[in-house]
Structure 1
Amino acid sequence: MTLDKYKKKRDFSQTSEPEGDSAPVDADSRRGMSTDTGSKKTGSRKTKSPDAVPAPGKHVFVVQRHAATRLHYDFRLEMEGVLKSWAVPKGPSLNPADKRLAMMVEDHPYSYRTYEGTIPEGNYGAGEVEIWDEGNYEPLLRQKGKTDEEILLEELNKGSVKIILHGKKLKGEFALVKMHTAKEGNAWLLIKHNDAHAVHENYDAEDYTSSQSKVTKLAEKKYKTTSSRAATKKKHSPVSSSEREKVSGYIRPMMAVLGEEPFDSEEWIFEIKWDGYRAIADLTEGLQFYSRNGLSFLGRYPLIEEGLEKQQYEMIVDGEIVAYNKNDKPDFQTLQHFTDNPEATIIYHVFDLLFLNGHSTETLPLYQRKELLKEALIETPHVKYCDHVEAKGKEFYKAIQKADLEGVMAKRKSSLYSEGIRSSEWVKIKNHNVDEAIIAGYTEPRGSRKYFGALILGNYKDGKLQYAGHAGTGFNQKSLKEIHTLLQPLVTEKMPFEIKPPTNAPPG
């Protein structure tokens, strides 16, 4: 297998990483070699003898901890005389409940398995590298008449590699499963099988690393600076709705249809229906944070922005901004008046992933998007992953009723993300029966009232917008101004109804 991509990314006159010029060691001829555990030091690279093999007759694996732009773990499996490689942001886990995101990268030379050292600044992957775990591995499922190498390569091509690791830290059965999509070709999941070596409590690879390691010390210095920069970023003063700018080229989120009754289905997942503001966060070039209609939220919720600034990946996510009242319950009124009550708890509940590390994920099934999102999102006090339950929609709805929440969102597991579409693949089932209406216009103010008198409402019946009444109560001077300002860009000469409704009628 060619190492062209590996070599093109590196200047070997500056980095001490192995060049891999010589032909890769043939796996079959290497099987009988004796183990050489001697070591030598070359420049800033500490490496074992190039021909050292952890155990003769076995395929080799290594996990390297790498403090580059972001701290991550590189998981490498020997095949075809090279190391097939995946970057695992959170590191491997022995807990079967964890499905670790693993981004496949270029093949590395076999001699890279013993590499530890410093990649100088200005070079690809600049930072400190150390070996976190190493050992041998073998295919889980053997086939008569096929060598281990043939089985492993066949599974790699199919996108499902099942192996047994014999390492110092990683032991037992694992699976590498490719997230299949034409646009996202390098995203895999690393999953521990539930065997005798599995654990069922929280597993963090960082807990199994020496605090005295050079990588740890560099990471603490490097990422503390990054966090400090995000934390000391200039704070925005709260921005009112009337000051919000329109984002150019914004994404219109996928919408749900209204359902009548809760249901059970193995093909669906069920989430909390939040009572807040729908919001898209775009972390691909700086930060854009905006409403379903493209109005910027930047400066309005500084604590959420701080949480978004701490994210490590280029991604676009979809979620809901929710404010909590004094009873710690989601409360839309608290959210509407958040600028007057900024000490209220506010959380951005993230439930979908539209883009990750240079690739659209919209053509992935929802279930896979959520798996990737769960691994990629760094939770903070004000940015949270929105979890779900599977199959048992009726039971979940009863729990929602008991908690007196807004309702349930039912989503088909296989649903793709359709921007700006109201799809029957997503269904909202309400607990609080509040009618929805479309603002179709407004009336002129009367007396001492400013900005507008009442909102003219409509709803769709048989595909046609029909007049549904007026709403003129419940506004204060501030909300009248904000709503009026928001409506101005939408003003048109075209009548939205087939029949002109009564205007300046008593508000209803």
Structure 2
Amino acid sequence: MADRLKRYRSKRDPLRTAEPVPAEGPQPAGGDDTFVIQEHHARSLHWDLRLERDGVLVSWAIPKGLPPDPGTNHLAVRTEDHPMEYAAFEGEIPAGEYGGGTMTIWDRGSYETEKWSDREVKVVLRGSRVSGRYVLFRTRDRNWMIHRMDPPDDGWERPPASLAPMTPVTRARAPREPEAYAWEFAWGGLRALAHVQGGRLTLRSATGADITQEHRWLRPMAGTFGSRSVILDGEIVPLAGTPVYVAFDVPHDDGRSLLTEPYTTRRAVLADMAIAGPRWQTAPAWPGEAVAVRRAAREQRLPGVVGKRLDSPYLPGEESVYWIYLPS
């Protein structure tokens, strides 16, 4: 019988990597019902889907992760079979080695085979994060596509491809109840909505234009979200001469629209994301501190401040009295 792991071994040196490298010989027999999905931060972020079959893990690299609904197919690149021990592997593959980078288990569980051929694989996955029917079909050479066959979980909503930002009205004075607002700096930068999906970034201007290429320095931010799909509202601001993306709202999070949620809920979600990197950060906000924040904006020579009602929804494309701009 052919050695299914010959190619796998040829790519790895057990003295240089912690990955399991079993000796030649018969492989353990199982029930052909184990799957694992590993998040792989290598040269580019991707996810590895592995299905137990005849004593090995048949594997595909999926650059954008599993598609969340039947409306989108994702590329899946067939890679070498992996040993069964790999289903439990997490760790750091040394730089310079094949697949160098961080490997973590994103999900694992059992699966049921509906069809298995050289060109088409239909399975039902039952994991803690992924449950559903998927089909992998071969298109050319090692390139396959993966398609979700059943509808997504109840409540899941596809993020909009484009979203016009909400804007404030301009006032000379603070509202009568400044404590009902959270106060943020008006940065005076370029308004931009960051669409993150499958570890990839699409950056859109306030008019909906794709400005990703002009600001490709921001692309690494998308990888920090892993498989989480989000839309961020923010500004590109020159800080100490370097452009930085400052996020101050989140209209959509991982299949859930937050447009009708109050500002306080959206800010809590944003805080939970812990957006902090060399060129991206979360904008600070101070509930009720209109006078102090406006004074600080003047001292820092910022154009002004924005007060956002704590109970305000996010109204795409609208100039709303829920948000008030006060010049410095």
> Under TM normalisation by the shorter chain, which class is it?
0.5 to 0.7
Cα distance in 2 between the residues matched to 1:305 and 1:364: 28
Question: Counterpart amino acid of 1:316?
Answer: I
Structure 1 residues 403 and 361: CA distance shift in structure 2, 3 A: same
Cα distance in 2 between the residues matched to 1:393 and 1:216: 53
Whether the 8 Å contact between 2:174 and 2:326 is mirrored in structure 1 is: yes
Partner residue of 1:316 out of 231, 239, 244: 231
- Residue identity over aligned pairs, in percent, reads 23
Partner residue of 1:14 out of 33, 44, 47: 33
Residue 220 of structure 1 pairs with residue 92 of structure 2 = yes
Q: Deviations over 1:268-305 (max 9, x none)?
A: 10001011110011113642111001122112122222
Whether the 8 Å contact between 1:308 and 1:383 is mirrored in structure 2 is: no
Q: How does 1:295-314 map to 2 (within 5 A)?
A: 295-312=209-226, 313-314=228-229
Cα distance in 1 between the residues matched to 2:273 and 2:34: 29
SS of the residue corresponding to residue 287 of structure 1 reads strand
TM-superposed deviation, 1:398: 1.2
Q: Provide runs of 4+ in structure 1 moved above 6 Å.
A: 214-217
Whether the 8 Å contact between 1:262 and 1:397 is mirrored in structure 2 is: no
Whether the 8 Å contact between 2:35 and 2:87 is mirrored in structure 1 is: no
CA RMSD of aligned residues (A): 3.5
Could you tell me which residue of structure 2 aligns to residue 69 of structure 1? 39
Q: List runs of 5+ in structure 1 lacking aligned partners.
A: 1-10, 18-66, 72-119, 127-213, 228-247, 329-343, 432-508
Greater strand proportion: 2
Q: How does 1:86-235 map to 2 (within 5 A)?
A: 121-122=50-51, 218-221=90-93, 225=101
Residue 370 of structure 1 pairs with residue 267 of structure 2 = yes
Q: Deviations over 1:150-184 (max 9, x none)?
A: xxxxxxxxxxxxxxxxxxxxxxxxxxxxxxxxxxx
Residue 427 of structure 1 pairs with residue 324 of structure 2 = yes
SS of the residue corresponding to residue 268 of structure 2 reads helix
Question: Higher relative contact order by CA 8 Å / sep ≥ 6: 1 or 2?
Answer: 2
Cα distance in 2 between the residues matched to 1:374 and 1:224: 31
Cα distance in 2 between the residues matched to 1:224 and 1:421: 47
TM-superposed deviation, 1:121: 2.9
Structure 1 residues 392 and 309: CA distance shift in structure 2, 3 A: same
TM-superposed deviation, 1:357: 1.1
Q: Count matched residues.
A: 198
Greater helix proportion: 1
TM-superposed deviation, 1:16: 9.8
TM-superposed deviation, 1:378: 3.6
Cα distance in 1 between the residues matched to 2:313 and 2:302: 27
- Structure 2 length-normalised TM: 0.53
SS of the residue corresponding to residue 372 of structure 1 reads helix
Whether the 8 Å contact between 1:255 and 1:423 is mirrored in structure 2 is: yes
Q: How does 1:389-428 map to 2 (within 5 A)?
A: 389-428=286-325
Question: Counterpart amino acid of 1:386?
Answer: A
TM-superposed deviation, 1:217: 7.7
Whether the 8 Å contact between 2:91 and 2:102 is mirrored in structure 1 is: no
Q: Which moved more, 1:304-313 or 1:418-427?
A: 304-313
Could you tell me which residue of structure 1 aligns to residue 178 of structure 2? 265
Cα distance in 2 between the residues matched to 1:298 and 1:379: 19
Cα distance in 2 between the residues matched to 1:404 and 1:350: 20
Whether the 8 Å contact between 1:410 and 1:427 is mirrored in structure 2 is: yes
Structure 1 residues 13 and 392: CA distance shift in structure 2, 3 A: same
TM-superposed deviation, 1:224: 6.5
Higher radius of gyration, 1 or 2: 1
Cα distance in 2 between the residues matched to 1:421 and 1:256: 8
